[in-house]
Amino acid sequence: MAISQKPDPEKVVWHPSASYVEQSRLVRFLRRHGLPDYESLFRRSVEDLEWFWNAVSEDLELQWIRPYTKVYDSSAGVAWTKWWIGGRYNYVQNCLDRHLPRLKDKIAIRYEGEEGTSRTLTYAELLDEVNRLANGLKRLGIREGDRVGIFMPLTPECAIATLAVSRIGAIYIPIFSGFGASAVATRLADCDAVALITADGFPRRGRPVPMKETADEALRSTPSVKHVVVHRRQGSQVPWTQGRDHWWDDVVAEQSSQCPPEPTEAEDPYMIIYTSGTTGRPKGTIHVHGGFPIKGTMDMAYGFDFKDSDTMFWLTDLGWMMGPWEIIGVLTLGGTMLLYDGAIDFPEPDRLWALVERHKVTVVGISPTAIRAMMRHGEDGVRRHDLRALRLLGATGEPWNPKAWLWYFHHVGGGRCPVLNYSGGTEISGGIVGCTVLHPQKPCCFTGPVLGMDADVYDDQGKPVRGAVGELVIRKPWPGMTRGFWRDAERYLQTYWSRWPDVWVHGDWVRVDEDGFWFIQGRSDDTIKIAGKRVGPAEVESALVSHPAVSEAAAIGVPDELKGEKIVCFAVLKPGAAPSDDLRHALAETVTAQLGKALRPERVLFVRDLPKTRNAKIMRRVIRAKYLNTEPGDLSSLENPQAVEEISRAR
């Protein structure tokens, strides 16, 4: 099979072997359609959307409750493209029911808890559990279109909950298990959730995390939630609200294991997943049955070459899009997933590699931050474990540095496994850029755009640019694109479609080198990303100003060798309040209590004023530049230039 890309071999560290190429799903796809090479397939995937996505549906053998009559319709505008016109599709049917004739006794989920407990669920057992919970939810009165929050550690019950909610046509809201009460409440309130599925608690580094208590605090300000289903993860005593709270076991008790999937339209929503921007409240990105599940599965099949013989372990959380992506993609493709609920270096630093060995993982996915953390423990922890089952290394979350990438490649993959870099976003349903097993690799690289993604790099004039950093853009629609923000269509259009006509501007800086390899350089907006978790400055600032001593606040992300970024906060105090170390500590604690320990500020600094535009928008770009002693750029829109020096003095 021809591979047309021919980079400088002195810069390439991995070349695909004949076995990787010949046994790949991509080569099978190419031969099925008589295409000579990957580049021919990619061109056709972005030039003939109707052909490509129809071919994907056929190749993945997706089952349609009612066949579609047309692949897509952009008559309402590219930003509002609809897919699989006339089709009825419930993705849960494709995750479970269609596999039973062949895979009913195959393990769908392997699970290990931090304390060492382990379980497995076959496809048949998983379907039974999903159906019983689905029937229990219906008995509580939850119906198609209702919103249900899922605030759980990554246990089998977490996966069961997502599938059960979707099976009955309701819409789930995945919530990061480490969030504080305020962040949980914001998401539940924004979409008027009627129910929450949570756990009593979970262990982290041997200590209990009281999840139900956090949920209860969040629910004090979310009266729309009428039912709370609680899974006994730890068996701990928890506060209880009679009539509202229900034990999971009671909800599923005596429920039938038969529950036909709701015949949802392909454009019916199944998930609202929140992502933070640089201003305002978190954005509720809407995803539909015929969108995220098909796009994400396509990426996993052809980008990660995932087969039904594979076991995937992606280090994630349900609140990060890689959680839903893993659950849906693995099950649709008939494979096995490993779910782990715990710290990756507890009780010993090599826990992660022990998991990979013990469960014979073939595809592992991890963020650069996690690798940087593992590197501190040295190579011995990796060498102690037999990782020969691994054939593919996945990575996403933030940009790599070469040292960490090479450590992952050499010490985890033994120099034989490619590192399949993957970058896109919550609003994308997976990747914009990625890698394949057909292409050679440089450290930290992407092969280029994912199949079906007409992506490019634009300069400030909206022209394609190579050899220089530019904006990552997408010029044609794809099934996984968010169907807008929940109850905020204008914000969706302004965020992604307002810079150039009919062009999605993603907000990432990208460079394409002389050999055609792509490299992500970071975000082009103010969003803070800590260890792969995004948080908007507004959420951090909202927590700060909730303290009685603070009148205004700004939060920025600054580089951190381990986590990618860390949070630095600037607070303007109210009259009568004085700066002190005690107050500094109290403000950091306030943010931690509301948003979770993962988002605790690294520093809290005091200033008398914050740089603002004339329309009162805080200029975080300027604050960050002054803090890092870099060029702040254009200051012409500043209302109060003297405030810039406040940032310098605050250090």
Dump strand ranges (E) for 136-281: 147-151, 171-174, 195-199, 202-204, 207-209, 227-231, 245-247, 269-275
Is 323 part of any domain?
yes
- pLDDT number for residue 378: 86
- pLDDT number for residue 402: 84
SS3 548: coil
Q: What is the CATH number of the domain that holds 628?
A: 3.30.300.30
Same domain, 304 and 435: yes
Same domain, 354 and 328: yes
Same domain, 454 and 423: yes
Q: Domain end: 467, 496, 523, which one?
A: 523
- Helix (DSSP H) and strand (DSSP E) numbers for the chain: 22, 30
Containing structural domain, residue 426: 9-65+85-96+289-475+508-523
Is 295 part of any domain?
yes
Q: How far apart are CA 271 and CA 507, in angstroms?
A: 23
Question: What one-character-per-residue DSSP string does 583-636 give?
Answer: HHHHHHHHHHHHH-GGG--SEEEEES---BBTT--B-HHHHHHHHHT------T
Same domain, 566 and 519: no
Largest CA distance in the chain: 76
Same domain, 421 and 561: no
Sign for the CA dihedral angle at 569, 575, 576, 578 comes to: positive
Is 592 part of any domain?
yes
Q: What is the CATH number of the domain that holds 45?
A: 3.40.50.12780
Is 91 part of any domain?
yes
Same domain, 467 and 579: no
- pLDDT number for residue 2: 44
- Report the number of distinct structural domains present in the chain: 2
Q: Which residue is associated with the tokens 């009679």?
A: 242
Q: Which residues of 561-600 are buried (b: 16+ CB within 10 A; e: fewer)?
A: ebbbbbbbbbbbbeeebeeeeebbeebbebbbbbbbebbe
Same domain, 566 and 434: no
Q: Domain end: 463, 493, 523, which one?
A: 523
Same domain, 513 and 583: no
Is 211 part of any domain?
no
Sheet holding 603-607, edge to edge: 550-560, 564-573, 603-607
pLDDT mean for each 10 residues of the chain (651 residues): 49 93 96 97 98 98 98 98 98 98 97 96 98 98 98 97 98 93 93 98 92 97 97 94 97 97 98 74 93 98 98 94 97 98 92 97 91 85 96 89 90 97 95 97 96 96 91 97 96 95 93 92 73 74 88 88 90 90 95 90 92 66 87 64 82 62
Same domain, 395 and 324: yes
Residue 295: name the closest of 130, 131, 474 by CA.
Answer: 474
Is 60 part of any domain?
yes
Is 119 part of any domain?
no
Same domain, 538 and 515: no
Same domain, 564 and 415: no
Same domain, 575 and 438: no
Is 124 part of any domain?
no
- pLDDT number for residue 615: 43
Residue 326: name the closest of 163, 133, 499 by CA.
Answer: 163
Cite the DSSP H helix spans in 197-344.
211-219, 248-252, 292-298, 322-332
